[in-house]
Structure 1
């Protein structure tokens, strides 16, 4: 069985409050986080731009010095007579003298090139290498470099390989060097510099305790750095057209500049925490506020639920019960906000007043209904009263004192019953006795013209029915059906029936008169009062009205004509043991 979620209306105040809370808090948290990362990006960009400019400036100086050294090499190859004599000497003495002059010239000029570690001239035919070094170059390094140069330049000469047109990088005994070589006849003229010499001034630049400056070759491999550096931790092969973050968690900023004179680049690597060294407190505070707001959001929802939604739900629950008619419920007293306590107290007081008002209105309706019933019952009395006086008058005219006495006794019983007929219900036994007394009065009025038969089971004697229910229809039959030509037979049958396990009392009143006309039946079925040339006849309407007031829709009256003639009235009353 699946989980059933409660239905929440989009117009519910609880949903609106929760949405409003998210609408307010989520943008604020997002703004704080965005401001935090935006500040970090601004600082990082500023640091990147500053270091990019610094690296570009220093790379420009390196390129300038390399270009000046390259111009000196070109000058030696094209305009120096002694270098030309070394290429094509007329004699051995001329070669040695030119070599000596070139050596003296280079020894004097090398002091002007601080960024160049050595100049050299190599005669491939003679296998003679002339080189001049800076005083800072050690003897062992000189031997290593000279050995490499002889081997490297012989390889170029033997293979007729094209000499590079710019400064290029070579590895010599685990050290990286930048070389520039020009071929002039049989001579190779050039210069070289240890990459440590070029990077030396970068140690004077403050890149932080964890910052690092380095020279990289064209393949992106580090040749030398100001601090210990591991190539596998960072990718330097992307080029340096723009700064970028690298390493798995993007905690290193890389800026650099590629040399215009050689096949190498100068780069600076700055840790992210070094860049943001002035922002840790602000960053920490913003993150703390953001995460605290996120963590407090469920607590805010819980507080909102307990302080607002729960009291509101109690009030709604009571209102739903009241809407179903249960006006005796009240909002229970719970510890809540002052505003809700005042609302609950006012609501309970209002419901108490409504309940009292409802009781008063109900009692007033009962009194009104009782008065209306009494009025309906008394509507019958004047009509019968006039008829009985007329009978007594006729009997007095013929001086039939015995019938006058019998009639008077019957009238006493009749009016005694009528005086207590202001009750809503009487027993069936009392109603039948009254009906028989009434029939006896009518038999005295119409001797030998009227006969009535009443049949019912004895166990219904204590059944309570509205008074004058049966007598009204008998009176109507006698009034409209009795003639002097033919005697009328009346029958009253009562029995207990059942429909769908619901018991009811069936009362059938029949006569052998002329029955109802179609116009009268239509008026009766429509619930209208019957009016003809003799005036308004309210008997049937009166009984239907009283039954409606007492039983509602549980009682019914049907009027139709019997076969072959006569009127039939069928009354169905709900069966109740007590009232």
Structure 2
């Protein structure tokens, strides 16, 4: 990613134009987005503050009422004669019933003073009996359920430490949620209950929208009740209520709450964010419209710049880049562009045509020079071997081996016939091998039992085009420098195909078991110089390297090294196809659609 970023031409005209266009449009869009977001946050703060104030006031009233009920019940438990009698284990049945009746009348009258409370109850542990005082709206079935639930809760508390039950707690009875407080005084439990819906009744008119509501939730964030049904998924009430936040599966509900100081429950207002922002339609729509127009103008301006300026400029840059890489077979296609670019394109095409014509003239001169150099290098081989052949015939004539002279003369006829017919720059490998076998036969007649040669060339490489006499030069060089009169050597000529390179290559190797190259000779060969000693210059390997360079360029090369444990190795690597793919038949390539 960083490399791609670093490759951007920051100094080019097109990049500067695009950056300038973005530097004007993007800040404007960002300002509109910030203004829209700021307006939304202001409205959120105002609505949240208003709801927070109402919720806090009502929760404070509820907490004050619950605190007052706790103090009243605590006072009755320690001072009222009827309640003390109900908790007395020594009280008779009649005394207990009279005390129960008096306590019921007292607590029933107290319900008028505490409008948030739905009922009081007293439970006598000695008598295992409960007395309730409740508002008329409580049905008998619900009262029975409350009596059973409270009795079970009291029996559980008798098995636990007194400090466990110290606050108002939520309880469900027949599916209805209640807030209950239990106080123990000796052998007596006294307490009060209030239905959740009773606590929410004063907030039923609070404006939370059609899809919002005021809820009471417990300490675990579970809903206990609400001013209206709220079928919303994903609402989270466990984040605390120090500040407002957005919740819901899509974060589209504003949540404001206040926790009670008297119990593990909280009062929460939930409002749909969309309805809260309905007072901001014009500003939001105007901002959105401006943003859409700005983006459209940005795209239109970018398209216009690309069509009128950047595309013609890019075509021209692509053409210049290709020229710099040496590709002159191209023309800029005529297209509807401004007059300035039409003039530049016509001048560019004329310049390319003139350069191409000049290149053709120079190329033809180079070809002529190259052919002359190849011919000269090939002619250097003929007199060199010719003198060696005359020397062989002279030696055979001295020992009067006339049959060998005749056989060698016929071999020389075939040899020089091939030499004189090898005026072409390339011949097939099988013809070169036939010539080498004939040459080796001549040398074996001259040096019997001094060497043997193994030629291994696959059938599918027999027609590979190679420069003529190039392998014969290597074989001749081996016989000249490796064969000695005091022993025999082995020579191996092999060919293989390399298909893992960028193009198929043929590897030709000639190796022997002689002494090998000296270090000085290897350094001289690898540096491209001719080897010279007291007998003069040795042009064989240098000749081979130069012919490969002139014929194939960088597509072919020669390697020389010593074998293990001894012996010289010369490898020639040439392309399977003399001409590179795509070189012939190329036509002028328009660059109208490049890039």
TM-score by structure 2 length?
A: 0.50
- Report the structure number with the largest CA radius of gyration: 1
The aligned residue for residue 62 of structure 1 is: 62
Counterpart Cα distance in 2 of 1:276 and 1:87: 59
**Superposition RMSD on alpha carbons, in Å?**
3.6
Counterpart Cα distance in 1 of 2:95 and 2:289: 82
Any idea what the Cα deviations from partners look like across 1:468-526, whole Å, max 9, x if unmatched?
A: xxxxxxxxxxxxxxxxxxxxxxxxxxxxxx99999xxxxxxxxxxxxxxxxxxxxxxxx
The aligned residue for residue 36 of structure 1 is: 36
1:23 to 2:23 alignment:
yes
The aligned residue for residue 245 of structure 1 is: 246
The aligned residue for residue 171 of structure 2 is: 170
Any idea what the Cα deviations from partners look like across 1:417-452, whole Å, max 9, x if unmatched?
A: xxxxxxxxxxxxxxxxxxxxxxxxxxxxxxxxxxxx
Query: 3-state SS of the aligned residue for 2:56?
Result: helix
CA contact (8 A) 2:43 2:277 kept: yes
Query: 3-state SS of the aligned residue for 2:278?
Result: coil
Any idea what the Cα deviations from partners look like across 1:163-190, whole Å, max 9, x if unmatched?
A: 5111111111111111111111111011
Name the CA shift for 1:315/1:64 in 2 (closer, same or farther; >3 Å): same
The aligned residue for residue 288 of structure 2 is: 287
The aligned residue for residue 206 of structure 1 is: 207
Name the CA shift for 1:307/1:80 in 2 (closer, same or farther; >3 Å): same
CA contact (8 A) 1:163 1:181 kept: no
Counterpart Cα distance in 2 of 1:232 and 1:179: 28
Unaligned regions of 5+ residues in structure 1, if any? Answer: 318-331, 352-497, 503-579
Name the CA shift for 1:335/1:74 in 2 (closer, same or farther; >3 Å): same
Counterpart Cα distance in 2 of 1:312 and 1:272: 51
The aligned residue for residue 233 of structure 1 is: 234
Query: 3-state SS of the aligned residue for 1:277?
Result: helix
Counterpart Cα distance in 1 of 2:163 and 2:252: 43
1:220 to 2:221 alignment:
yes
CA contact (8 A) 1:55 1:257 kept: yes
Any idea what the Cα deviations from partners look like across 1:349-368, whole Å, max 9, x if unmatched?
A: xx9xxxxxxxxxxxxxxxxx
Name the CA shift for 1:248/1:99 in 2 (closer, same or farther; >3 Å): closer
Counterpart Cα distance in 1 of 2:20 and 2:227: 56
The aligned residue for residue 112 of structure 2 is: 111
Query: 3-state SS of the aligned residue for 1:39?
Result: helix
- The CA deviation at 1:311 is 8.6
CA contact (8 A) 1:156 1:162 kept: no
- The CA deviation at 1:25 is 0.7
The aligned residue for residue 255 of structure 1 is: 256
Any idea what the Cα deviations from partners look like across 1:128-180, whole Å, max 9, x if unmatched?
A: 21111012222222121112222322332356665511111111111111111
Bigger relative contact order, structure 1 or 2, given CA contacts below 8 A and separation 6+?
A: 2
Name the CA shift for 1:500/1:136 in 2 (closer, same or farther; >3 Å): closer
1:45 to 2:22 alignment:
no
- The CA deviation at 1:60 is 0.8
CA contact (8 A) 2:211 2:272 kept: yes
- The CA deviation at 1:116 is 0.2
Counterpart Cα distance in 1 of 2:218 and 2:310: 69
Name the CA shift for 1:159/1:57 in 2 (closer, same or farther; >3 Å): closer
The aligned residue for residue 324 of structure 1 is: none
Name the CA shift for 1:45/1:499 in 2 (closer, same or farther; >3 Å): closer
The aligned residue for residue 365 of structure 1 is: none
Name which of structure 1's ranges 130-139 and 21-30 shifts more when overlaid on structure 2: 130-139
Counterpart Cα distance in 2 of 1:112 and 1:12: 85
Counterpart Cα distance in 2 of 1:176 and 1:40: 36
Name the CA shift for 1:160/1:125 in 2 (closer, same or farther; >3 Å): farther
> Across the two proteins, how many residue pairs are aligned to each other?
333
Counterpart Cα distance in 2 of 1:45 and 1:8: 45
Counterpart Cα distance in 1 of 2:369 and 2:158: 128
The aligned residue for residue 276 of structure 1 is: 277
Query: 3-state SS of the aligned residue for 1:261?
Result: coil
The aligned residue for residue 186 of structure 1 is: 187
The aligned residue for residue 357 of structure 1 is: none
CA contact (8 A) 2:214 2:267 kept: yes
CA contact (8 A) 1:163 1:182 kept: no
Unaligned regions of 5+ residues in structure 2, if any? Answer: 319-333, 348-367, 373-595
Name the CA shift for 1:226/1:11 in 2 (closer, same or farther; >3 Å): same
CA contact (8 A) 1:124 1:154 kept: no
Name the CA shift for 1:300/1:81 in 2 (closer, same or farther; >3 Å): same
Name the CA shift for 1:126/1:11 in 2 (closer, same or farther; >3 Å): closer
- The CA deviation at 1:281 is 3.4
Counterpart Cα distance in 2 of 1:310 and 1:160: 86
Query: 3-state SS of the aligned residue for 1:130?
Result: strand
Name which of structure 1's ranges 124-133 and 36-45 shifts more when overlaid on structure 2: 36-45
Name the CA shift for 1:120/1:333 in 2 (closer, same or farther; >3 Å): closer
The aligned residue for residue 72 of structure 1 is: 72
Any idea what the Cα deviations from partners look like across 1:358-379, whole Å, max 9, x if unmatched?
A: xxxxxxxxxxxxxxxxxxxxxx
CA contact (8 A) 1:221 1:231 kept: no
CA contact (8 A) 2:123 2:189 kept: yes
